[in-house]
């Protein structure tokens, strides 16, 4: 029973550490994680994936590169560059799954960066973790894992301390 308990707590701890690392560690290296919310870039980036964006100078972007850019204040899009207009300092883009190019040009100044890698399904978790319920669940899960991990050792130490170390 103790072995199964240790396995479960170890697996929970590893999953939790992997989740936190996937969300926060790339930020240390300047990468910005973004969740894929639409299928416009299928099959390159699947809905629900977490895509990591690295800053890039617009001058280094080439035709065929996927770029992530702002549309207005609230919308972020990742689409592939199909044409570069150096004179107007803009890109024409198209989603891999779309039949037509995007309606407007993307100004160089709107470019956030280029996707460097993605983790399937992690975007669903990241979006949920950014809700109030998700944050409460995440904090609760962290506390439960910590309690499950350290409580048995703490109880064993207290039991041994009360009876002189004999059990």
Query: Are residue 51 and residue 23 in the same domain, yes or no?
Result: no
Query: Are residue 36 and residue 93 in the same domain, yes or no?
Result: yes
pLDDT of residue 109: 96
Place of tokens 């996927």: 66
Tell me, what CATH number does 107's domain have? Answer: 2.10.109.10
CA 20 to CA 22: how far, in whole Å? 5
Query: Are residue 70 and residue 56 in the same domain, yes or no?
Result: yes
pLDDT of residue 75: 93
Structurally, how many domains does the chain consist of? Answer: 2
Residue 63: inside a domain? yes
Q: Residues 53, 116: contact at Cβ < 8 Å?
A: yes
CA 17 to CA 13: how far, in whole Å? 6
Residue 40: inside a domain? yes
Query: Are residue 5 and residue 49 in the same domain, yes or no?
Result: no
In this prediction the pTM is 0.76
What SS3 state is found at 154?
Answer: helix
pLDDT (tens digit, 0 to 9) for every residue of the chain, 167 residues total? Answer: 667 777 887 888 888 888 888 878 888 899 999 999 999 999 999 999 999 999 999 999 999 999 999 998 889 999 999 999 999 999 999 999 999 999 999 999 999 999 999 999 999 988 998 899 999 998 898 888 888 777 777 777 766 665 555 54
- Give the CA count within 13 Å in the CB-facing half-sphere of 115: 25
CA 113 to CA 27: how far, in whole Å? 14
Range of the structural domain that residue 3 is part of? 1-30+121-152
């Amino acid at each position: 029973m103790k072995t199964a308990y240790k396995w479960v707590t170890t697996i929970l701890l590893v999953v939790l550490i992997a989740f936190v690392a996937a969300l926060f560690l790339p930020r240390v290296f300047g990468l910005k994680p973004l969740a894929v919310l639409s299928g416009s870039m299928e099959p390159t980036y699947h809905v629900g994936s977490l895509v990591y964006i690295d800053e890039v100078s617009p001058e280094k972007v080439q035709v065929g590169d996927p770029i992530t850019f702002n549309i207005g204040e609230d919308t972020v899009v990742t689409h592939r560059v199909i044409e570069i207009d150096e004179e107007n300092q803009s890109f024409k883009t198209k989603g891999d799954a779309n039949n037509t190019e995007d309606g407007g040009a993307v100004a160089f100044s709107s470019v956030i960066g280029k996707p460097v890698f993605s983790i399937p399904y992690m975007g669903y978790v990241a979006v949920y973790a950014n809700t109030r319920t998700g944050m409460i669940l995440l904090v609760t899960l962290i506390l439960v894992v910590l309690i499950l991990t350290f409580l048995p050792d703490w109880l064993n130490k207290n039991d041994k301390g009360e009876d002189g170390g004999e059990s």
